[in-house]
Amino acid sequence: MKKEVVLMNDKPHALVIGGTGMLERVCHWLVEQNYFVSVINRNREKFERMRKKNSMPDSFHPLTVDYHDGDQLQGKVAEAVTHFGLPDLVVSWIHSSAPDALPLILEPFKDRQEPWKLIHVQGSSSFFVKENTPVPETCAYRRVYLGFVVEENGSRWLTHDEIANGVIKVIQRDYKETVVGTLKPWSKRPQ
């Protein structure tokens, strides 16, 4: 028997992994777009500082957990789904040290009938691997590769603002796959 979910808000729900770091501005932008944003974070104080920067701090919900801990991660995601419903949008930046985290986060979506979107943010070296991320048919999967910037005297990694701008552009324009910055020439990447 299916458990009835009584939602605590009527806004579209976004889940952001990496929202207190390089995707912080994406979280604030989503709130400006009228989303309620659940943020997977490891540090509650950092989350609170991020939340308080927004004029609508009640539009954020913390899911404080280390995503390397699969059981706790599943519990926190289940808590958010119970209170706020399945997210309409997932923005994911997960380090390669936690390969099981995204599949665990996406587990509740397997029977979802309504369309939803996953923005999968990945590091530059992932571009050359092209891993297969299995998602349900109702998922519009979008991939964002983080490159670097070539400058006159060398190269540098992207700033948080450049990353956030790229992710926001993907959400707005619905690009299927994009590179923020450049990946070529690979030999020019920062060392």
How many domains does the chain fold into?
Answer: 1
Q: For residue 8, is it within any domain?
A: no
Give me the residue label for tokens 């519990």: 75
Burial 14-40, CB ≥16 within 10 A → b, else e: bbbbbbbebbbbbbbbbbeeebbbbbb
Q: Where are the beta strands (DSSP E) in 7-106?
A: 13-17, 36-41, 60-64, 89-93
* Ramachandran category for residue 34: left, alpha or beta (phi over 0 → left; psi -120 to 50 → alpha): left
Q: For residue 7, is it within any domain?
A: no
**Cβ distance 24 to 160 under 8 Å?**
yes
Distance, CA of 91 to CA of 106 (rounded, Å): 11
Both ends of the chain: CA-CA distance in Å?
A: 55
Q: Where are the beta strands (DSSP E) in the chain?
A: 13-17, 36-41, 60-64, 89-93, 116-122, 139-146, 148-151, 154-157, 177-180
Q: For residue 5, is it within any domain?
A: no
Q: For residue 180, is it within any domain?
A: yes
Which pTM does this prediction carry? Answer: 0.91
Residue-number span of the structural domain to which 81 is assigned = 13-188
Q: For residue 1, is it within any domain?
A: no
Q: For residue 3, is it within any domain?
A: no
pLDDT in tens, the chain (191 residues): 444 444 556 789 999 999 999 999 999 999 999 999 999 999 999 999 999 999 999 999 999 999 999 999 999 999 999 999 999 999 999 988 888 999 999 999 988 999 999 999 998 888 777 777 888 899 999 999 999 999 988 999 999 999 999 999 999 999 999 999 999 999 999 98
Q: Are strands 13-17 and 177-180 parallel, antiparallel or unpaired?
A: unpaired
The CATH number covering residue 77 comes to 3.40.50.720
Give me the residue label for tokens 């005297």: 153
Q: For residue 129, is it within any domain?
A: yes
Q: For residue 106, is it within any domain?
A: yes
pLDDT of residue 9: 63
Encoded amino acid at 140, one letter: A
